[in-house]
Structure 1
Amino acid sequence: MQVATRAIVFSSLKYGDTSLIVKAFTQSDGLKSYLLKGVLSSKRGKLKTAYFQPLTQLELIANHKNKGTLETIKEAKVIYPYKTLHTHVVKNSIVLFLAEMLGSSIQEEEKDESLYNYLEYSLNWMDDHENIANFHILFLLNLTKYLGFYPDTSYQKEAYFDLLEGNFSIRPSLNPIIQGSTLDCFRQFLGINFDALLTIKMNKTNRQELLQAVILYFGLHLHGFRKPRSLAVLNAVFD
C-alpha cells in the first residue's frame, strides 16, 4: 500500500556497497525499516543520502506492506530544515545520542500520533533554542510518558527514588536508586516543560550521574534496551 506520511529518521546503516537500511518513526505506522537500493551511487535520484541523517524530519511517499519486512521509499523531502541541530557541535552530539536512545527504546510498528507529535515538537524546540545543556535529560524523562513508565511523582520529598519500581521511597531497597544531590537534580525535571530548563542548575558531575541513572531506568523498564555507544562522546562534549 502506498502511503504519504511524515517520518523522523532514527538511523541509517550501509547495506552492501550502494544501499542503505533506514529506520524511521512514521506518523502513519510507527516504526518502519526501509531498504534504499542504490541510493549511495545515484546522483540524480529522488532520494539523497543527506536526507537520512539522524532525526531528520521527512515527508515520505512509501510502500508499506506491513508484513514485518523491509519497506521501500519512492520519494522523500525534508519538511523541517534544521538551522542548528546538525552543525552545532553540542546539539549534534545530543542528536546522535537521542537517535540511538530512540532506536533502542521504540520498537512498535503501530501508529502513535501523540508520540510522533512529541518528538517533532521537541526537536524543533531544541533547534530554536540555545540553552540545551539539560535538554536530553528532560527529553528522555518526558519520553517515558509515552513508553509507559513515567516516574510516580507521589511522595517526592522522600530520600530515595527506586529505579525499578519507578517511585519515591522512605528507605533504600536492594534495587538501583537515586539519592543525595543527584536526586535533588532529578526532582527539578519532574512536571516541567522545555521552557523551564533555564531554571535548572546542575554541575557536570550531577548531570553525568543523573543521565546514567536515567539510562539505567530505561534499561530496567524496556526489554532488549541497549546502552548507547554515543554516551561517551556526549560526556566528552560536556566535559
Structure 2
Amino acid sequence: MLTKNNSIVLSKLKYRDHDLIVKCYTEQRGLVSYMLRGVLKSKKGLSKTVYYQALSQLQIEENYKPNQSLHFIKEVKFSYIYKSLHTNIYKSSIVLFLSEILSNVLKEEEKNEDLFHFISAALQYLDNEDQFSNFHLLFLLKLTRYLGFQPENVNTNDPYFNLESGIFEGINHGIYSVSGENLTLLKRLLGTNFDTLNTVKINGKQRQEFLNMLLHYFELHLGNFKNPKSLQVLNEVFH
C-alpha cells in the first residue's frame, strides 16, 4: 500500500554494491528502514542520495508492508530544506553527533508524533540560529522527556542531583551525585527553551564536562547505550 510519511533520516548503510539501507524516524510509524535498490549504480541514482544526508527532513511516498523489516520508497522530496545544517562545519558536527545518538536510542516501531515534532522543530531552530554552541546540550536534556527519564524538575534548590534516580536531593549519595558547575548548569537548562538558549554562557571546559555527565545519564537509563564515535569530533570543534 502506498502512503505518505514525513521522515527524518538517522543513518544510511551501503548494502552490496549498489544499494543503500536508510534508517528514518517517521511521523506515522516511528523507526522505519528503507531499501534503496540500485541507487549507487548510476549518476541519476547517485543524485538522489542528497536526500539521505544525516537528519534530512523528507516527505516520502512509501510502499509499506506490515511485518517486513525493509520497506521501499516510490517518491521522495524535502519537507524542509536546510540553509546551513549540512554546509556549516560547526552545525554539521552537531548533526553527525545527534544522528548517531538518535540512531542509538530510537528503537520503537510505533508512532510518537510529539517526539517526531520535537526533533523536527529543534533541527529547524538550529538551521536558522547563529549562536548554537550549547544546542546539543539542551537537545539531549529535552530528549530525556520523550525517552522516559527526564530529570524531576522539583526540589531544584537541593544541593545534589542523583544521576541514577533522576531527582534532586539534599544528601550526597556518592558517585551518582552531581554538584558544582554541572549542577548549576543543569538547573539553568531545565528552565531554558531553545529561543532563550543564547543567554546561557559557558566555556568549552564546562560544556565538555556537562556533556560527559549527560552521556553518563543516558548510559545509566538506557540499556546498551554507547558513546557516539563522533563525540571526539564534536569535542574538537566546540571545546
- Per mean C-alpha deviation after superposition, the further-off stretch among 170-179 and 103-112 is 170-179
Q: CA deviation at 1:66?
A: 2.6
Do the aligned partners of 1:47 and 1:75 also contact (CA within 8 Å) in 2? no
1:207-239: per-residue Cα shift (whole Å, max 9, x none)? 001101111111111122221110000000013
Do the aligned partners of 1:47 and 1:76 also contact (CA within 8 Å) in 2? no
Superposition TM-score, scaled by structure 1 size:
0.96
Superposition TM-score, scaled by structure 2 size:
0.96
- Per mean C-alpha deviation after superposition, the further-off stretch among 39-48 and 191-200 is 39-48
Name the residue aligned to 2:4.
4
Name the residue aligned to 2:230.
230
Do the aligned partners of 1:164 and 1:175 also contact (CA within 8 Å) in 2? no
Q: Give the distance between the partners of 2:227 and 2:233, measured in 1 at CA.
A: 13
| 1:68–1:214 Cα change, 3 Å | farther
Question: Partner of 1:13: helix, strand, or coil?
Answer: strand
What is the Cα-based RMSD across aligned positions, in Å? 1.4
Aligned partner letter, 1:92: S
Aligned partner letter, 1:118: F
Structure 2: gaps spanning 5 or more residues: none
Question: Partner of 2:77: helix, strand, or coil?
Answer: strand
Q: Give the distance between the partners of 1:42 and 1:112, measured in 2 at CA.
A: 36
Q: Give the distance between the partners of 1:219 and 1:64, measured in 2 at CA.
A: 33
| 1:170–1:30 Cα change, 3 Å | same
Q: Which has the higher helix share?
A: 2
Question: Partner of 2:44: helix, strand, or coil?
Answer: coil
Q: Give the distance between the partners of 2:131 and 2:178, measured in 1 at CA.
A: 25
1:41-96: per-residue Cα shift (whole Å, max 9, x none)? 13335971111000000010111223151111111111211100000011000000
1:77-226 → structure 2 map (5 Å cutoff): 77-226=77-226
- Per mean C-alpha deviation after superposition, the further-off stretch among 7-16 and 46-55 is 46-55
Structure 1: gaps spanning 5 or more residues: none
- Per mean C-alpha deviation after superposition, the further-off stretch among 66-75 and 5-14 is 66-75
| 1:62–1:47 Cα change, 3 Å | farther
Do the aligned partners of 1:152 and 1:166 also contact (CA within 8 Å) in 2? yes
Deviation >3 Å, runs of 4+: none
Aligned partner letter, 2:222: L
Question: Partner of 1:79: helix, strand, or coil?
Answer: strand
| 1:41–1:93 Cα change, 3 Å | same
1:131-178: per-residue Cα shift (whole Å, max 9, x none)? 100001101111111111110011112221111100111122245232
Do the aligned partners of 1:163 and 1:220 also contact (CA within 8 Å) in 2? yes
Aligned partner letter, 1:74: K
Aligned partner letter, 1:206: Q
Q: Would you say 1:41 and 2:41 are equivalent positions? A: yes
| 1:210–1:145 Cα change, 3 Å | same
1:174-205: per-residue Cα shift (whole Å, max 9, x none)? 45232111211111100321011121111111
Do the aligned partners of 2:161 and 2:169 also contact (CA within 8 Å) in 1? yes
Aligned partner letter, 2:139: F
| 1:170–1:24 Cα change, 3 Å | same
Q: Would you say 1:18 and 2:18 are equivalent positions? A: yes
Do the aligned partners of 1:46 and 1:75 also contact (CA within 8 Å) in 2? no
Number of residues of Structure 1 aligned to a counterpart in Structure 2: 239
Question: Partner of 1:127: helix, strand, or coil?
Answer: helix
